[in-house]
Homo-oligomer: A and B are copies of this chain.
Amino acid sequence: MKTETGSMSYRRRSIGSKPHRPLPFLCAAAALLLSNGWAVAQEEATPREEEATPREEAVRWAIAVHGGAGNARPEDVDSERERAWREGLAAALATGGEILAAGGSALSAVEAAVRILEDSPHFNAGKGAVFTHDGRNELDASIMDGASLNSGAVAAVHHVKNPIGLARRVMEASPHVLLGGEGAEEFALEQGVELVPTSYFFTESSWRSLQKELEEERQGQVDERRREDARALSLRRTPGHLADGLGTVGAVALDVHGNLAAGTSTGGRTNKRYGRIGDSPIVGAGTYADNRACAVSGTGHGEFFITNAVAYDICARVRYLGQSIRVAADHVVLQVLVAQSADGGVIAMDPAGNVAMPFNTSAMLRGYLRAGGTPEVAIFRD
């Protein structure tokens, strides 16, 4: 049976299709919603989970940043590196906060904060990007505007100094959402976005990480690991590796106009091969922003962020299940991802500026600043 919508082969049953007779509709809908909601709640709830959390007073503006989640332990990280991370996160918060305090957009605050982290050699994005198997740098980034749902992203670029800036240009100056490789750099040239020589991205620690992995490959250690569950293990690294660059960077923000934005940027994975693209340039996986629900930026085992549509799923839980940002983010990171042995964390912000920053690893570089508050930066489970 075909209907005018073009759908085929479906029978219809109507309930409550005359909303001007509210009472029967209400009773039927109530019964149905209750049973559906209860069924969903049964599937979703745990004794510790709450379906609602009182919203803190909406803040005028707020921003959160992350510098990656990973399994570094305090004893693996020298104090100089830790100080560099904390300073970078604080600078990103300060820069983004300055824009927000002046009435600027969440989008601009996110871009500016991420640029700070990209320009630092201490994070795996932009300047500090790790090396691929071939000794190159392949950078990805995405950005999204929660007001319009417009987004922009770039994947596998090699010479872009600030991928988050190019991602924003894709969003605002092209009809596209995602550009990759040489074509993305052609667009960058047309747009006057700064390109740099490959040597710009060289850092000792990133190079060392690659050499270490290549050595392990030669010694057959990686082959041995590959005989096990390749997917689960592909992110298992020694703490040493992770201490060199925990991962992706990102930011989420709420501005005084009530708009949310999110952005993510990465150098990918050390020893990356095959033109592998992770979740960072994938809207819905590593980045999402929607004024009706939340802004999310993720970091971790990218493949699982894609297959679970992590960033979008958190927002869907807020919108459809009415979960708080903390319950939604915790569920996805601490239950869904953990059940699949997937490392990772997110920073997630709701339309009132409340933030959740769950991670299922031992560390996530993160920070939060809101109007009238002081910057809070953390690395481990303090």
Instruction: Enumerate chain A interface residues (CB-CB to B < 8 A).
Output: 2, 4-15, 17-19, 29-30, 32-34, 36-41, 47-48, 50-54, 56, 144, 149-151, 155-156, 174-184, 186-187, 230-231, 233-234, 273-278, 282-285, 288, 302-303, 306-309, 312-313, 316-317, 319-322, 326, 329-330, 334, 340, 345, 354-359, 364, 366, 368, 376, 378, 381-382
Contacts and interface: CB of A to CB of B under 8 A. Distances in A.
Nearest to A155: B180
A10 B321 contact: no
Contact of A177 (B156, B306, B321): B306
A51 B33 contact: yes
Contacts of A306: 151, 177-178, 283-284
Copies in the complex: 2
A249 to B, nearest CB: 17
The A contact surface, by secondary structure, is: mixed
A29 to B, nearest CB: 6
B6 A364 contact: yes
A28 B244 CA distance: 49
19 contacts: A2-B378, A5-B334, A5-B358, A6-B357, A7-B329, A8-B376, A29-B38, A32-B51, A32-B322, A34-B37, A144-B307, A151-B306, A156-B181, A175-B233, A177-B302, A177-B307, A180-B276, A183-B275, A317-B320
Contact of A30 (B38, B40, B149, B326): B38
A34 B33 CA distance: 6
A340 B148 CA distance: 10
Contacts of A230: 174-175
B307 A150 contact: yes
Contacts of A364: 6
A250 to B, nearest CB: 16
The 6 closest A-B pairs by CB, nearest first: A183-B275, A33-B37, A36-B322, A175-B234, A284-B309, A320-B320
Given A6-B381, A40-B322, A52-B13, A176 B307 contact: no
